[in-house]
Structure 1
């Protein structure tokens, strides 16, 4: 089920979807007499690629997700700081601090900031070793140790393969009046919080890595041209919306 979900989910992302339309269109043009349908599919694919690569479209898809939860400004005691994994590649030819993805680096940095605000809290890191000898949880722990936090103040879940696995692990800790902050990328926070409520606990949201930001001054015209960066942001927005629908259909979330 895990791999099926990943494969089907990736096929529905903007770029694979567009490439599928273009490929089908070319096959129809070259191998069949259905020229009009082939041209239609190719035209649709090009238009979708352009749309998903525009700033306004990417902001419209991503920003509503990121703005659902404000940045952390909590007071009082925290028992746990829960940090969702994202990924890492422990390439020995690069510095250890470069192992993480943009998202994972932002998440562990936010966790370290919260730990400074709440010295009493235990850091809880998750993420598996599926594609790398070093788990994402292990990478987070290395970053936290480099910031002066002892390993004794951390809990690592290195057998979690997706957000649902991570949330289930967290639910085993956060009970009996325990308090927790949940750290993840801002675009991912709505789904993570819904899944946490579905698992029976409600942490305080601590979103980080806000990507869909609004400029405070007029932007130059060239910044409105199609860009791979905006295609990436659109992909994140589509991915999260599909993820929210999937968790609701499976009864894993609670809104």
Structure 2
């Protein structure tokens, strides 16, 4: 009864519910326009499929992300801790930490953890934003509220993407031991861009995805969190493709 309740509850969530309704509509439409209806049905089913933990696990492939886990036992000294920006929700009525999205908070928590492990390291928070509200400022304010001294923190508010972050920060990072904090799915591309600027970074990934421990009754039900993970993975594929094209056109690019 418990598992049945959970399955029914999950199926009534917006993504699986509206996906099922769309599939039924396309099945009905098969009578009048087979090509359009079949195409719509195929796309809807594909969207629902990649949103299930069973398929999302295969797309995200958590095992490949484990190479980016930071192990403090292997690094006796870190000079700079760079936390890359992510999502934010600007709202002057909220505290700084409440204006950071989950991705940004996950990265900042890891950065602050490393800041306590390496008390002499400088914490660099990066990322632009919307208007006068930036990732770097919100991260700085949040870090201060959590006990990190203001004089240890440096902002990089002008960077609007990872390429900018690597380019703008590189002069201050060369010849230092740098821990790079970003999401596990983003680490490969971020590391590549920093390396291209002559900065050898030590990955300190966070924001991992792994659905292997989810119970069987959840494995085949579309879930919006899984779709988000797959979307971020796809974003990285497109990002790496764009870098490859830019470098093919201009070997000095990025």
TM range (shorter): 0.7 to 0.9
Unaligned runs of 5+ in 1: 1-14
Which whole-Å CA distance do the structure 1 matches of 2:224 and 2:105 have between them?
21
Q: Is 1:107–2:103 an aligned residue pair? A: no
Q: Deviations over 1:93-148 (max 9, x none)?
A: 4343211111100111111110111111111111113x253210001111111122
Q: Deviations over 1:61-104 (max 9, x none)?
A: 22355234223434222111011000222323434321111110
1:37-56 aligned within 5 A:
37-56=35-54
Once the two structures are TM-superposed, the CA of residue 231 in structure 1 deviates from its matched residue by: 1.5
Q: Is 1:219–2:215 an aligned residue pair? A: yes
Per the alignment, do residues 68 and 137 of structure 1 end up closer, same or farther by CA in structure 2, a change over 3 Å counting? Answer: same
Aligned equivalent of 2:185, options 165, 181, 187: 187
Q: How many residues align?
A: 224
Per the alignment, do residues 62 and 191 of structure 1 end up closer, same or farther by CA in structure 2, a change over 3 Å counting? Answer: same
Once the two structures are TM-superposed, the CA of residue 50 in structure 1 deviates from its matched residue by: 1.6
Once the two structures are TM-superposed, the CA of residue 253 in structure 1 deviates from its matched residue by: 10
1:159-238 aligned within 5 A:
159-175=158-174, 177-215=175-213, 219-238=215-234
Report SS of the residue matched to 2:147: coil
Which whole-Å CA distance do the structure 1 matches of 2:134 and 2:152 have between them?
18
Once the two structures are TM-superposed, the CA of residue 182 in structure 1 deviates from its matched residue by: 0.1
Per the alignment, do residues 250 and 170 of structure 1 end up closer, same or farther by CA in structure 2, a change over 3 Å counting? Answer: same
The 8 Å contact of residues 82 and 170 in structure 1, kept in 2 or not, is answered as: no
Which whole-Å CA distance do the structure 2 matches of 1:187 and 1:57 have between them?
17
Report SS of the residue matched to 1:81: strand
TM-score by length of 2: 0.79
Report SS of the residue matched to 1:205: strand
Which whole-Å CA distance do the structure 2 matches of 1:96 and 1:201 have between them?
30
Report SS of the residue matched to 2:61: helix
Report SS of the residue matched to 1:67: helix
TM-score by length of 1: 0.78
Per the alignment, do residues 190 and 253 of structure 1 end up closer, same or farther by CA in structure 2, a change over 3 Å counting? Answer: farther
The aligned residue for residue 133 of structure 2 is 134
Q: Deviations over 1:137-193 (max 9, x none)?
A: 001111111122222212111110001000112211122x21100000111111111
Which whole-Å CA distance do the structure 2 matches of 1:88 and 1:80 have between them?
24
Which whole-Å CA distance do the structure 1 matches of 2:246 and 2:137 have between them?
30
The 8 Å contact of residues 170 and 197 in structure 2, kept in 1 or not, is answered as: yes
The 8 Å contact of residues 127 and 156 in structure 2, kept in 1 or not, is answered as: yes
Once the two structures are TM-superposed, the CA of residue 247 in structure 1 deviates from its matched residue by: 1.5
**Structure 1 or 2: more helix by fraction:** 2
The 8 Å contact of residues 187 and 210 in structure 1, kept in 2 or not, is answered as: yes
Which whole-Å CA distance do the structure 2 matches of 1:48 and 1:204 have between them?
37
The 8 Å contact of residues 52 and 219 in structure 2, kept in 1 or not, is answered as: no
